[in-house]
């Protein structure tokens, strides 16, 4: 079992930045896939970004490409989501997710094994 705990959400004005953190309860293996998803009220959970823990490929939703960056700190068992140039449409609960496998399909929430509790991000106009 892996427990994931997110933090770093909050209220920010449009154009501002936030950095979300996701701490894993134990060391994750290089084959793990780590993802960030978000869910706005009345909408389905949607993919935001993902990476293989070993630090290889990174994947981004078109809506956040060029504004968000996913990264990780091995020593801290932590994955980050740096969010810049935030827009009101980025408002959502953001979730960290982990798969024990090297995923070819990082977009589908059902492919992930573990989820955090979520952190609220609100962007005001």
Convert the pLDDT of each residue in 5-53 to its tens digit. 999 999 999 999 999 999 998 877 777 999 999 999 999 999 999 998 8
pLDDT digits (tens, 9 = 90+) for 48-70: 999 988 877 899 999 999 999 99
Confidence of residue 3 (pLDDT cuts 50, 70, 90): very high
Check if the beta carbon of residue 99 is closer than 8 Å to that of residue 35: yes
pLDDT confidence of residue 27: 78
Query: Beta strand 18-24 with 10-13: parallel, antiparallel or unpaired?
Result: unpaired
d(CA 97, CA 119): 12
d(CA 69, CA 81): 6
pLDDT confidence of residue 30: 72
d(CA 82, CA 55): 16
Mean pLDDT of the 115-121 span: 97
**Any residues with CB less than 8 A from the CB of 69 and at least 6 apart, and which?**
49, 80, 81, 82, 84
**pLDDT over threshold 90, residue 75:** no
The residue assigned the tokens 């956040």 is 64
d(CA 23, CA 2): 10
pLDDT confidence of residue 61: 98
């Amino acid at each position: 079992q892996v427990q994931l705990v997110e933090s770093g959400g909050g209220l920010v004005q449009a154009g501002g930045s936030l950095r979300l953190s996701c701490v894993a309860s134990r060391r994750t293996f290089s084959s793990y896939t780590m993802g960030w998803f978000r869910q706005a009220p009345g909408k389905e959970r949607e993919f935001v970004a993902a990476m293989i823990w070993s630090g290889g490929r990174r994947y981004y939703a078109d809506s956040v490409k060029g504004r968000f960056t996913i990264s990780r700190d091995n020593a801290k068992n932590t994955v980050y989501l740096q969010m810049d140039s935030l827009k009101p449409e980025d408002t959502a609960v953001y979730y960290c997710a982990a798969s024990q496998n090297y995923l070819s399909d990082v977009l589908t929430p059902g492919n992930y094994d573990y989820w955090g509790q979520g952190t609220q991000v609100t962007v005001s106009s």
